[in-house]
Amino acid sequence: MTAADDTSLLHGGDPSADLSSFRQALGQFATGVTVVAADGETGPFAVTANSFQSVSLEPPLILWSLRRQSSKIASFLQADHFAVNVLAASQTELAGHFARSGGDKFAACEWSRGLHGVPLLAGVAAHFECAKVAEHDGGDHVVFIGKVERYACFDRSGLIFAQGRYALAISHPGRPSDLQIDGHPRDDFFLPLLARAYAYLAGAFSEHHSAEGVTTAESRVLAFLATGSGASAEAIAARTFLGENTVQDALAKLIAGGHVAPRPPGALVITESGLALLGRITARARAFEAEKLADLPAEDVAATRRVLRELAARGGG
Ligand SMILES: Cc1cc2nc3c(=O)[nH]c(=O)nc-3n(C[C@H](O)[C@H](O)[C@H](O)COP(=O)(O)O)c2cc1C
């Protein structure tokens, strides 16, 4: 089967024909999120980066890349050392914080200095203190190679970035098994049950977004704008757990489709057509849920919803 025969094909071909589609394809590769930080003449500086990669174990080498257009490119080219802070699942705000330029970024967060003064953020999943050993041309980016001089790994789950949005790493639900743990069926624990139920429902719902011609990100942006008008792209990214590029791409498409209108200076509002589209997506969600639960006793569904709501509230959801 060729790509063109696959009915799930969204787009493809020459990357230069549509950069946002190309970026969407790259976003199918899930990464973690890091804040790469160094110390300079005017104090510490840092950027959020998901281009981090391990390269070699012996010697211990890693890489990351920075846009040539970045306001920090000169500082990183000058720095001999840098730290890669691998963000923990709870640190989405920190990711947004270091993805915005301007201001004293370090005044608002807890950090300390490591080897050669590199900034180490508190509460991360891991950090790597590196000596810069090479810089390579990477088109519109510069690729930095670092040799890890010291690292620390903490008992925290890392934040994930996939399909242009922040995500959590949950274990793959795997296949149902009849394994018992201390006489309790392993599959009957809440966590594996929730994971498998989630995988079943989430996979099945994405086709409804496609049927309305929107991505999950566009639907999330619309839902956020419906809660109050006049938001900026930055505020939308912070509240929807989407990356800023994803928000920009989603907004461009929603504006072109007449579902969102820019209201100067810099504010965005949902239009009548946007509200109608959101209404259709919500109706699909309701119908989808009703269909999946139709053959289950109503009182069981109501009790399950109460339990899930309570657990979500305890987790701050
Ligand atoms: C999740 C995420 C990952 C990012 N990864 C990179 C990256 O690997 N390289 C890069 O140059 N910019 C990346 N960025 C964008 C930079 O963080 C952002 O452009 C920069 O911090 C803004 O400051 P500047 O304009 O001064 O560079 C990322 C942003 C986010 C939200």
Cα–Cα distance for residue pair 85/96, rounded to 1 Å = 14
Residue 204 has pLDDT above 80, yes or no: no
- 225 or 228: which leads in pLDDT: 225
Residues 104 and 210 reside in one and the same domain: no
Rounded-to-integer distance, Cα 34 and Cα 49, Å: 5
Domain presence at residue 181: no
CATH number where 102 lies: 2.30.110.10
> Are 257 and 143 in the same domain?
no
Residue 132 lies in a domain: yes
Distance of CA 99 from the midpoint of ligand 1 (Å): 5
| pLDDT in the model for residue 209 | 83
- Is 98 a residue whose pLDDT tops 60? yes
User: In this structure, is residue 284 part of a structural domain?
Assistant: yes
Report the CATH number at residue 233. Answer: 1.10.10.10
User: Tell me, what's the pLDDT at 279?
Assistant: 96
Any domain includes 204? yes
Provide the number of structural domains found in the chain. Answer: 2
- Testing ligand 1's pocket by substitution, the residue of 67, 97, 234, 242 carrying the most ligand atoms inside 8 A of its CB is 67
- Has residue 6 got a pLDDT over 60? yes
H/E element, 22: helix 19-26
Indicate if ipTM > 0.95: yes
Considering only CA atoms, which residue is closest to atom 26 of ligand 1? 71
The pLDDT assigned to 200 comes to 83
Q: Do 151 and 243 share a domain, yes or no?
A: no
pLDDT in tens, 131-180: 999 999 999 999 999 999 999 999 999 999 999 999 998 877 776 666 77
Q: What pLDDT does 178 receive?
A: 67
Q: Are residues 70 and 132 in the same domain?
A: yes
Q: How far is the CA of 115 from the centre of ligand 1 (A)?
A: 24
**pLDDT exceeds cutoff 60 at 317:** no
Q: Tell me how far the alpha carbon of residue 34 lies from the centroid of ligand 1, in angstroms.
A: 10
Tell which atom from ligand 1 comes closest to the C-alpha of 67: 11
Ligand 1 atom at shortest distance from the alpha carbon of 48: 17
Residue 190 above 80 pLDDT?
A: yes
- Asked if 152 and 206 sit in the same domain, the reply is no
Query: Which residue segment(s) compose the domain that 146 sits in?
Result: 31-162
Higher-pLDDT residue of 281, 263: 281
Q: Is position 36 within any domain?
A: yes
Statement: residue 21 has pLDDT above 70? yes
Mean pLDDT of the chain: 91
Percent of residues, the chain, with pLDDT higher than 70:
95
Q: What's the first-to-final CA gap in the chain, in angstroms?
A: 42
Picking from 195-199, 230-234, 282-286, which range would have the lowest pLDDT averaged per residue?
230-234
What stretches of 168-297 show up as alpha helix (H) in DSSP?
A: 190-211, 216-226, 233-240, 244-256, 272-293
Tell me, yes or no, whether 63 lies in a domain: yes
Q: What is the largest CA-CA distance in the chain?
A: 67
